[in-house]
Structure 1
């Protein structure tokens, strides 16, 4: 069942993305996750609590979120398939659709390249600021382009490959449990003092959930674009145990240096470089990265289709 659901959801996402009109009317499901996490954080992540207590309460908040999400997903999936047959799995695919980000990721990254090509550096900074967490106000053209390419590579895992992976294994509850964990990590899974204890469980869970998908993402990017040597050599240069795999694969495929020193909240972090070659990326490199990304997405389609055919 998961395979035709995956293909249908991939097709819906590729054709429509998550339409702005729909977003304005109903928002996006991850917004609900964000509100739940924010509510738990406001109540339980208090400065007067000790480290161990805050870590336990953060784990409890994550557990409640994952239990509720997977339980609701399983109940809905079971009901739809039991009562509506073929129409049921089509409805399940529609419910999976917003968990994928093929189209929106492509559109956001392409917008950065278009602004660079138009000579609009402030517009390019604003566009890349929508998809990265680093400081963008002082970035030059090369820094903006590298940030966009890095986000494209990392989000290929978080937004496409990993949701599809967990969908194929556990169906609707799997894909939305993954999105819940990934959302929790993006909001509270940080190393700053405020989040270190409360977000510990979210960060570790997201690391675990992405461990296999990140390496598969790097593998897929290398299959369609090359870059094997750089991926094996530099994947561990990233602070994350997972993000370095698709980023190093993309760096190798493009013959660029990615990552390197970066500023967050006004503080410069001297991070190691990933890849060889030039670091002066531009709009043309974004176009090349998008071409690699599209081929990797097509390969995911072929994998889902092959699984459906074998089934």
Structure 2
């Protein structure tokens, strides 16, 4: 049985550090190392002309196992291990950084700096931002903040609390693979299948928990949720992803701000499903309320998942 210090305190410290420090750009980060490894793997797979679908599935097994093995071994080092465990746990959460970067986009819009807002937004999204006007920037920002509440916080926290830093980084590796390769383009449709399908499976429950936590947090903020509860599930199921629509649709209906519509990816226009009430939009005040809702949801998720899943982990 593991010591409660590693089960409860390390995830709690990670959440606190994420809220306080975010992701300082000058600090090393495991995701960057994973990304470099995936780039090298992709280059080798294409060079030797292996079946790319098979190569993608093999990458899931190889990289997820390697992440789990390395982090587990490092965090088991006497004396140094607990400090490394805190670092790996903190580095796997991205809510603090997400909200800081999102506020920078809003600040640039408030200052009338449309090009600066587009550039700042481009650091958060994979869509093309060069031609976006202010309303489209606000909508895009609302979409990425609500979607990444699960991808960048709830899901990694779920696996951290349940399996420790090693389990968290096995999940983060799959998530990174999906972020890099999970596009239905000619280049990635085969190679990215394994990462995308595995990420869909691993994020299924956390995404639905994120929607639940959003509704609980909304009540604490005094937001009306009757219509949102009745309508968001139907919208969530419109999305191609089995998971992304749950936090997005919940946020769209709670905040009464429309999401979706024509979006440009890799030079092609994609008509994304419309989520939330028709005829609504996003303004500065609504975005800041969304940020407060997301922050409150993250706090609620931490307060619920760390003790509950920690007890499950101790019982395993």
8 Å CA contact 2:158, 2:309 repeated in 1? no
Q: Compared with structure 1, are the counterparts of its residues 61 and 304 closer, same or farther at alpha carbon in structure 2 (3 Å cutoff)?
A: closer
What TM-score, normalized to structure 2? 0.89
Q: Compared with structure 1, are the counterparts of its residues 175 and 13 closer, same or farther at alpha carbon in structure 2 (3 Å cutoff)?
A: same
Cα deviation, residue 301, structure 1? 2.9
Q: Which has the higher helix share?
A: 1
What TM-score, normalized to structure 1? 0.90
Q: 1:171 and 2:169 equivalent?
A: no
Cα deviation, residue 2, structure 1? 2.2
Which of the residues 63, 66, 69 maps onto 2:64? 66
Aligned length: 299
Q: 1:41 and 2:34 equivalent?
A: no
Q: Equivalents in 2 of 1:46, 1:195: separation in Å?
A: 15
| Paired position in structure 1 for 2:137 | 144
Which of the residues 137, 149, 158 maps onto 2:151? 158
| Paired position in structure 1 for 2:222 | none
Q: Equivalents in 1 of 2:38, 2:306: separation in Å?
A: 36
| Paired position in structure 1 for 2:299 | 298
8 Å CA contact 1:229, 1:252 repeated in 2? no
8 Å CA contact 1:215, 1:246 repeated in 2? yes
Q: 1:255 and 2:282 equivalent?
A: no
Cα deviation, residue 218, structure 1? 1.1
8 Å CA contact 1:45, 1:58 repeated in 2? no
Q: Equivalents in 1 of 2:304, 2:97: separation in Å?
A: 21
Cα deviation, residue 124, structure 1? 1.4
Structure 2: tracts of 5 or more residues without a match: 1-5, 219-224
Cα deviation, residue 309, structure 1? 9.4
Q: Compared with structure 1, are the counterparts of its residues 32 and 21 closer, same or farther at alpha carbon in structure 2 (3 Å cutoff)?
A: closer
| Paired position in structure 1 for 2:206 | 213
Q: Equivalents in 1 of 2:56, 2:309: separation in Å?
A: 39
Structure-to-structure mapping, 1:1-311, within 5 angstroms: 1-22=6-27, 27-45=28-46, 49=50, 53-77=51-75, 79-80=76-77, 83-84=78-79, 88-225=81-218, 226=225, 227-304=228-305, 306-307=307-308
Superimposed CA distance per residue, residues 241-288 of structure 1 (whole angstroms, 9 cap, x where no aligned partner): 110000001001101111122111221112220010434322222111
Q: Equivalents in 1 of 2:48, 2:73: separation in Å?
A: 38
Runs of 4+ residues deviating >4 angstroms: 46-49, 308-311
Is the deviation greater in 177-186 or in 221-230?
221-230
8 Å CA contact 2:174, 2:199 repeated in 1? yes
Q: Equivalents in 1 of 2:40, 2:309: separation in Å?
A: 40
